[in-house]
Structure 1
């Protein structure tokens, strides 16, 4: 099997996640700082997620979803 070059990947899933995290966070009137505290993250990590510049783990996806009162798949829906 050929190796996939990172530069060839389209980060569409990260962009979808970023959009949904920001949308849900603002709908719940949470600041990035408050959400990050609920997750046990630094505020800049939530900022990176919302700008789709970081590739998060499934564990962190679950922590963010729980802090937003959602199931993890909701964060990946179009």
Structure 2
């Protein structure tokens, strides 16, 4: 089973926890080069997985807004930073 297949069954929180531990190990600098490369690859996979999970959640989020006395479902629109434009 590849690391990608193993990670598909983990929750967002579990993936983030694993990713934080990997980052801490890599930042510490006491990891042999080959192990660091393995950790980096696993971290990239976890990062991608977390990004996918966030995108799935974002697509599911709907906000209820009151319009003319009734509630209407509207797709979630993330707030953008105007400084980016």
Question: What is the TM-score normalised by the length of structure 2?
Answer: 0.30
> Bigger radius of gyration, 1 or 2?
2
Greater strand proportion: 2
| Greater relative CO, 1 or 2 (CA 8 Å, sep 6+) | 1
